[in-house]
Structure 1
Amino acid sequence: MTFSIVARQGDAHGIAVASKFLAVGAVVPGARLGVGAVATQSFARVAYLDELLGRLAAGEPADEALAAATALDEGRETRQVGVVGVGSAATFTGSECNVWAGGVARDEGDTAYAIQGNILTGPEVVEEMERAWHATAGQPLARRLLAALVAGDAAGGDSRGRQAAAMYAVEPGAGYDACGVLADLRVDDHADPVTELGRLLSDWEMYFGKPEDVEPLEGDLAEEVRERLAHAGFSDADVATALADWAGNANYEARLSPDGIDRRVLEALRATTSR
């Protein structure tokens, strides 16, 4: 009933999942900073999340942790699980999972992934997700997770249809107040949940992402920014102070930089103000 990707890139770990199942993000994903990530699905056993993350934290490789956890579960043949640790990846599909069901896991050094799904239209869903993961090498983890989910959805996804999608990812220093949450997004009930998840990810990046492509507030750019802020009701002798006031009002304070103006903040300012 679900397809997911669990992955690591550098110090970041995360999961993206979609399903014809209400609020799938409340059940499937789990991740822990510096430890790994887990997806439990197909008659999901939510206890696997803490169990497997605990085993990974204790130093067990993903394949050993998964084998040990499933061996203790009498319902394992109905389950599907993906696990990625600091240096390993593993996937499990029980023999009683509804067809089509299967998965793939790879550890590629700086990156690793486990992709799995059940009640899918066919193996092409997993194949296209894996292809999308490799095609987006070099992009941030959250973007690669989304690309894999989009590819799986386009390939057919859940054979019963669409309903929910989610993403949960962690990385040291990421997120609001550097809390370590790289992405925490859920689309609980939607006609096109994967597309909606992509929209939410863009907003998340805007609100909680770090400054990028910063330009100094000098010359013509400083004058443009000053005029736009004044038209929006934010005037100050110091353009950086006026910008901070406007950005705080718009909840863009995470993207403020002492070196100038962030590219996406500038785009938002231009889109919402006049000169």
Structure 2
Amino acid sequence: MGTAGASTDEVAGERRQLMNVAYRLLGSLAEAEDAVQEAYARWYALPQDRRDVIVSPGAWLTTVTGRICLDVLGSARARRERYVGAWLPDPLPDRAERHLGHGGGPTSPVALTDPADQMVLDESVTMAFLVVLESMTPAERVAFVLHDVFRYPFAEIAGILDRTPAACKQLAASARRRVRGARPPVKAARQAEAVRRVKEAWEAKDIAALVDLLDPAAVMTADGGGLVGTVLRPIEGGARIAQYLVAIADKAVGLELLERSVNGAPGLVARQAGAVATVASFEIADGRVTRIWAVRNPEKLRPWARGWAV
């Protein structure tokens, strides 16, 4: 059956799914939104008779979005080589927490229009998972995300990658090995406890306590995009990270640390003068912090700034 009976609302209703696919493929809300917008532009540019014979508009839009994301990923590496400092995926706020500052609920105007509110937060959007995705080739990432995360069959993925289903299966298997090589996530309660202890030691400017909480081989990566001051290269070693965190606390007068969900996992938000300055994600292993990802680029913090008036 074609789409003659498919309403504009039904086609538009695919946006949430497309945004979730595009964000996981690209790691950027702005790029994901652009990719989805372009997919819709191509859909509405089709003559009506062409649209009427498309059995599943959702599948068509997903295929087109996947191809657009594949092209973006192909050029992203060159662009990120020119990026000032380390590049990290956009951090996602928890919808419920973010809208507390609006005095409105999920039906507030911001909630209806903000792309961040269309994200489904699960293990496939944790910062640790997204960083692993960044290590994959564009084709591996598309094959893995579409098949392992969204359960699309390899026959459909083959149309996006212009490869055989067997080749797509091999790409997904290769990507899967990269994921298996990463540390498994810890339970939310254990991560929350570790993050809380880091917060308390950071607020107390207790270097010894921070060193004890950090793995000796811990790595901290910060993303300022050249727009704000931050370290341009990862800081390696728990002792060095502890010293850096205390140095920040000494310089940032009025720094406020809040425990918040970041990409669906316990994290920290640092505010200064009421504005969100940093969003930090953590990787925990054996009760100690092994990785810290700190996003400071204000362009990546826009979804956080909108709902944090209080």
The answer, yes or no, to whether TM exceeds 0.5 is: no
TM-score normalised by L of structure 2: 0.26
Return the structure number with greater helix share. Answer: 2
From the two aligned structures, give the one with the greater strand fraction. Answer: 1
TM-score (norm 1): 0.28
